[in-house]
Amino acid sequence: MMQPFEQFNNWQRKHLTQQQLVLLLSFVVGLLSGGAALLLHFLIRLVQHLVQSYLAVTSVNWVYLVLPTIGILITALIVRYVVRDNVSHGITHILYAISRRGGRIRRHNTWSSMLTSAITIGFGGSVGAEAPIVLTGSAIGSNLGNFFRLDSKTLMLLVGCGAAGAVAGIFKAPIAGLVFTVEVLMIDLTMSSLLPLLISSITATSLTYFFTSSTAMFAYEPSHEMFRLQLGSIALAILFGICCGLISLYFVRTSDVCERMFSKLSHHFYVRIIFGGAILSVLIFFFPTLYGEGYQTIMMILNGRTPTDYNSMMDGSLFSGEGGMLVFFVAMTILLKVLATSATTGVGGVGGIFAPSLFLGALSGFLFAHLLNDYQLGQFVAYDTYALLGMAGLMSGVMHAPLTGIFLIAELTGGYELMLPLMIVSVCSYLTIKIFVPHSIYANQLARKGILLTHHTDHTVLTLMNLESVIEKDVDRVLPEQNLGQLVNAISNSQTFVMAVVSRDGHLQGEVDVREIRHIIFRTELYGRFTVAQLMHAPKALLSINDPMNDVMRIFDETHAEYLPVEDENGMLKGYITRERMYGMYRKIVADLSEE
């Protein structure tokens, strides 16, 4: 079956340059990632149609108390017994693959995230489909590049192409797909990477437009003048941007706390699912707007014109028909959305925070405008306008991606009339949360471990360096009880100037520098007088195989050592790392990154 592919592989090596191959593959990745986005949307709608056929529109739905739990249970069972790998936190998976695996993503990620997220969301999981489809697109790019045996740098570019194509395809937003890849995945935008990323984004978007309507995802007619360029309007936009940053901070911090809480139940499979599913089900029962992605609520806010339209958000809840409870209902939905999202992903559901960020932003903008208008605090502001600004603000804050927020909302609505206020709100939101949280919700965990790629060249190079690859494992070892004569015999057969002194079970006891004992190694009368234990000294520092390279570099600088020993997870000597070899690897990666 693989013979035709191998034949094509051999043909392209003879007839295509590396650049031509990358451009061709970026087009293929764009097609496949765009197709995957369409397929995921279809699967979610199919599951939702089957499930929601049992739900009433206006009355209370008791079935909400069981549906989300069923969806999470089915998803968790598939992950545990079929996939047998963790498929949650899709963007974090990609960031880890880029920083630690050279852009290599497992094959099952080309389908597993789509299947499990469709079930999770279709049954009411309060998450989005975007992160799973981004992981799917990136996995497609990674495995396609791996098939053609491309180097790690090109492989990471194809991972970015898959992510760009997925975002562009699912939102019909090619610029946002490109910007997302640069801002969130930290793929450097150079002349050699710009064209492939654009090709994937445009291809995926075109495919989506071809199979769906030609309108933007959230196309609508503004209810009022979208934004007045006045001092008061700009001041309100700045204030709202700060509010978005604080809400983003609440989302990130609460999500982190909830995730740690659910992780404590990781060894109790069914207890965790029942516990998290019960929380989610109860929340959705009281606040049905928390069901699924929440895009229907967003469209309701954007297209609403009368109080009756906005009150319809409470349909199917205990608050249905109580117009005076709308502000309370919206405020509680904002506060509880992060708990619903965390309960979904923390106990086995699969999904992302793209849609929750947009949902929270729309509700936050609606609530902000509602309070301003109700209490007549300044000029009248349009609910739909501030809903859009809130969507950009929350995405900018939660994901630390202001440009993605700006261009995504502009493309989602099919126009750029709000570009200035989008910039104001997005930047203010980003600067506000940046004070408290230095990294995005995706990158926090990796940043704490020191394995996150950034646009800082030195840090990026150190992150890309693999400690395993610079360890010299062929180190001569002697026992502490051996005498000088035996040590000299070992030195005569050695190619290194350092002898590792280890116990019989392999633990490092010290080291002997041949240069430090050269004044006695030729005095045969001393061979039986001294032992290795008397001649060895403690190393200047001891490294662990799991130490980040920036820590390794710092320790070398602090100790001024030429070489340092490395232990494995069990405390056994793994080998030595030399300053010369480490800096040689560093210079090579810098040179590779500098190539256009």
DSSP 382-426: -HHHHHHHHHHHHHHHHHT-HHHHHHHHHHHTT--TTHHHHHHHH
35-62 pLDDT, tens digit each: 999 999 999 989 988 877 765 555 556 6
Does the structure show a pLDDT above 50 at 290? yes
Rounded Cα gap, residues 142 and 428, in angstroms = 35
Position 596 scores a pLDDT of 44
Residue that is written with structure tokens 């003879």 in the block: 14
Least confident range of 174-178, 457-461, 466-470: 457-461
Does the structure show a pLDDT above 70 at 548? yes
Position 56 scores a pLDDT of 54
119-135 pLDDT, tens digit each: 999 888 899 888 899 99
Element (H, E) at 233: helix 231-263
CA proximity to 362, closest of 303, 283, 318: 303
**CA within 13 Å, CB half, 312:** 15
**Distance between alpha carbon 26 and the CA centroid of its chain, in Å?**
21
pLDDT band at 417 (very low <50, low <70, confident <90, very high): confident
Position 425 scores a pLDDT of 96
Q: Enter the pTM of the model.
A: 0.77
Does the structure show a pLDDT above 70 at 144? yes
3-state secondary structure 124-182: CCCCECHHHHHHHHHHHHHHHHHHCCCCHHHHHHHHHHHHHHHHHHHHCCHHHHHHHHH
Position 60 scores a pLDDT of 57
Position 262 scores a pLDDT of 86
Does the structure show a pLDDT above 90 at 367? yes
pLDDT band at 1 (very low <50, low <70, confident <90, very high): very low
Using alpha carbons, list the distances in angstroms from residue 567 to 468, 499, 507, 510. Answer: 11, 15, 8, 13
Q: Which domains does the chain have, with CATH numbers?
A: 17-211 (1.10.3080.10), 231-450 (1.10.3080.10), 461-594 (3.10.580.10)
* Dihedral over alpha carbons 475, 480, 481, 484 (to 10 degrees): 70
557-568 pLDDT, tens digit each: 888 888 889 988
DSSP 533-585: HHH-B--S--EETT--HHHHHHHHHHHT-SEEEEE-TTSBEEEEEEHHHHHHH
Position 460 scores a pLDDT of 57
Q: Which residues pair with 328 in a beta bridge?
A: none
Average predicted confidence (pLDDT) for the chain: 85
**Distance between alpha carbon 144 and the CA centroid of its chain, in Å?**
21
pLDDT band at 207 (very low <50, low <70, confident <90, very high): very high
DSSP 332-367: HHHHHHHHHHHHHHHTT---BSHHHHHHHHHHHHHH
Token pair belonging to 595: 């190539």
Q: How far apart, in Å, do the first and last CA atoms of the chain sit?
A: 36
Does the structure show a pLDDT above 90 at 331? yes
Element (H, E) at 52: helix 18-52
Least confident range of 5-14, 85-94, 422-431: 5-14
Q: Which residue has the higher pLDDT, 539 or 215?
A: 539
Task: State mean pLDDT over 429-457.
Answer: 71
Rounded Cα gap, residues 203 and 564, in angstroms = 50
Position 304 scores a pLDDT of 86
pLDDT band at 524 (very low <50, low <70, confident <90, very high): confident
Does the structure show a pLDDT above 60 at 16? yes
Rounded Cα gap, residues 400 and 95, in angstroms = 14
269-280 pLDDT, tens digit each: 888 898 988 899
